[in-house]
Amino acid sequence: MAEIIVREAIAQGLREALERDERVFMMGEDIGAYDGAYAVTRGFLKEFGPERIRDTPISEAGFVGAAVGAALVGMRPIVEIMTINFSLLAMDQIVNHAAKLRYMSDGQLTVPVTIRTVTGGGAQLAATHSQSFEGWYASVPGLKVVAPSTPYDALGLLRTALKDDNPILFAEHALLYGVRGEVPDEHYEVPFGKAAVRREGADVTIIGYSRMSHVAEQAADKLAERGRQAEVIDLRTLRPLDIDTVVESVKKTNRAVVVEETWRTGGFAGEIASAVQEEAFYHLDGPVARVGGLDVPAPYSGPLEAATIPNADRVVDEIARSFGI
194 burial type by CB count under 10 A (0-12 exposed, 13-18 middle, 19+ buried) = middle
> Where are the domain boundaries for CATH 3.40.50.920 in the chain?
196-323
Global pTM exceeds 0.85? yes
- Give me the helices (H) in the chain, please: 6-20, 44-48, 60-72, 91, 101-104, 134-137, 151-161, 211-225, 243-253, 268-280, 302-308, 312-323
Residues in the chain: 325
pLDDT score recorded for residue 301: 98
Active site residue 283: no
Rounded to whole angstroms, how far apart are CA atoms 159 and 305?
A: 34
Instruction: Give me the catalytic one of 129, 217, 260, 305.
Output: 129
Task: Please state, for a pLDDT cut of 70, what percent of the chain lies above it.
Answer: 100
pLDDT digits over 173-194, tens only? 999 999 999 999 999 999 999 9
Say which CATH topology domain 2-183 has: Rossmann fold (3.40.50)
Q: What is the pLDDT of residue 1?
A: 87
Would you call 298 helix, strand, or coil by DSSP?
coil
Q: Would you identify the CATH topology of the domain 196-323?
A: Rossmann fold (3.40.50)
Look at residue 100 in the predicted model and tell me its pLDDT: 98
Catalytic (active site) residue 129: yes
Average pLDDT, the chain: 98
| Sheet hosting strand 24-28, strand order edge to edge | 53-55, 24-28, 76-81, 114-119, 168-173, 144-146, 237-239
Neighbour-count burial for 156-168, b at 16+ CB within 10 Å, e otherwise: bbbbbbbebebbb
- Contact (Cβ atoms closer than 8 angstroms) between residue 319 and residue 325: yes
Task: Judge whether 183 and 16 are in contact, CB under 8 Å.
Answer: no
83 - beta bridge partners?
Answer: none
Segments of the chain assigned to CATH 3.40.50.970: 2-183
Amino acid identity, position 231? E
Q: Which is the catalytic residue, given 60, 134, 231, 261?
A: 60
Beta strands 237-239 and 144-146: pairing type?
A: antiparallel
Q: What is the mean pLDDT of residues 107-118?
A: 98
User: What is the per-residue pLDDT across 43-56, written as a single tens digit (0 to 9) for each?
Assistant: 999 999 999 999 99
Question: Tens digits of per-residue pLDDT, 280-314?
Answer: 999 999 999 999 999 999 999 999 999 999 999 99
Residue 188: how many other CB atoms lie within 10 Å: 11
Residue range 270-275: mean pLDDT, rounded: 98
